[in-house]
Each structure stands twice: as C-alpha cells, then as structure tokens.
Amino acid sequence: METCIPLPTISREQFQDAAPKQGLKVFPYVTGSWKSYTAAVTDISIQQGREVDYLVIKGANAQYGIRISAQLDPAFVPYDYGQDKDQQIERNTEKLVKILRAFDLARFDEDGKGVWLLPEKFPQAVGAVFSFSIKGADVDGQPKYNERGYPVTFASFRGAAPELLPVTVPWNSMQDRPVNTCSTNCSTHVPDDDLIPF
C-alpha cells in the first residue's frame, strides 16, 4: 500500500510550475583584476527595484552565467560614497546607452529628442553575443564575501561581440561556485570608484 504524506502549504500550481534546473556557474574570475569574456543573451527583462527600475541582461557561455543590470534612471545615485555625482550619472548613462545600442532596444520619440525603451524588442536580442569583464572584489587583497557567504564580484558590460568565444580559466582564478539560476551572484557596476557590492 502506498504511503502518502500531505503537504498542506504547496498548491498544485506551485508544484506544476516548479522546473528543476541545474544552476550555471559564475564565470572564472580573479580577485582584484578584470578578466574579459563573451556570452549569449538568454533573457532581457525589466526588474522593479525599491527606488529605481533596472534593465537586466542575462547571458550564458557553456556552464557559466552572468547577469548585467543598468538603471533605467541614470540620474538616480542610491549611495553616497563621496564619489563625484555627475561622473556617476555619466557612467550610469553610458552603461545604459551601450546596452540599448548593442541590442537595438530603443528608438527616438516623435520629436527626435527623447529615447524610448522598446520591451517588445527583448525577444529578438536572445542569442545575441556580448562582451563583458568580471573581477572579484577584495578587501586588503583578500576576497570579499557577502552575508550569505558568496564571493562579491563585479561585472562590466563592454558591448556587442562578433562571436561567442570559449571560456578560458585564468591560472589564478577563484574556485567556481555554483549558482541557482543564470542570474549570478554579482554586482554590475562599471570599473571605477563606484564598485558597490550587491
């Protein structure tokens, strides 16, 4: 006779919608120095934040995954670390524009002055190849970890790439750690004084 144990807090919809997936790994990185890679877009979406929304690009190459995000309001500077606010806004703007141009995700408004994001173009960008750089954050030369024990990494979007190149592991890279989706545990700030952990 079959033994059944009721699971009262799980609905049929939750059970059927659950899709077991093997997580992608963080791209190999080195603490304190940048390493460049290419990835193919697996998804583009808009993520709502508490104070500002983000354009999120997820990419993969072999068993590795990356998540790059750009603020939809580049003028919003959430933290004051003593950085030049105008320079930060300029970097935020450059990053967003670089992503929009790389995947052709925007158009000018009727006056030709403003720019409009076109979410209906997101699916056509899936499969497009892009280049990015990644590095591990450090404190006094030692790897930095977040409160959950994951290493803090930074990623910088570089632009469209002509082809997907194989991933090469640097001799001094940090140990790969699996992640549960292709959105890896990394921050996505440009390399400069605004390296803010996630």
Nearest C-alpha neighbor of 190 from the set 71, 42, 101, 82: 71
Q: Which two tokens stand for residue 19?
A: 């899709």
Average pLDDT over residues 189-197: 38
Name the pLDDT band for 53 (thresholds 50, 70, 90). very high
Nearest C-alpha neighbor of 166 from the set 40, 42, 68, 23: 40
Query: Would the pLDDT of 6 be above 90?
Result: no
Q: Which helix (H) or strand (E) holds 83?
A: none
Residue partners of 66: CB distance under 8 A and separation at least 6: 27, 37, 39, 58, 59, 60, 132, 134, 155, 182, 184, 186
Name the pLDDT band for 9 (thresholds 50, 70, 90). confident
Burial zone of 68 (CB within 10 Å; 0-12 exposed, 13-18 middle, 19+ buried): buried
In the 8-state DSSP scheme, what is residue 12? H
Query: What pLDDT, in 10s, does the model give residues 130-186?
Result: 999 999 888 887 888 888 888 888 999 999 999 999 999 888 776 544 443 334 444
Pick the range with the lowest mean pLDDT from 12-16, 30-34, 48-52, 58-62: 12-16
Query: For the chain, what are the domain ranges?
Result: 22-160
Cα-based distances in Å from 13 to 9, 17, 22, 79? 12, 6, 21, 40
Number of Cβ within 10 Å of residue 16's Cβ equals 8
Pick the range with the lowest mean pLDDT from 126-130, 143-147, 187-191: 187-191
Query: What pLDDT, in 10s, does the model give residues 74-122?
Result: 998 877 667 788 998 999 999 999 999 999 999 988 787 788 999 999 9
74: left (phi over 0), alpha (psi -120 to 50) or beta: alpha
CA–CA dist 104, 83 (Å, integer): 31
**Where is pLDDT greater, at 196 or 86?**
86
Cα-based distances in Å from 30 to 17, 97, 175, 191? 37, 28, 9, 14
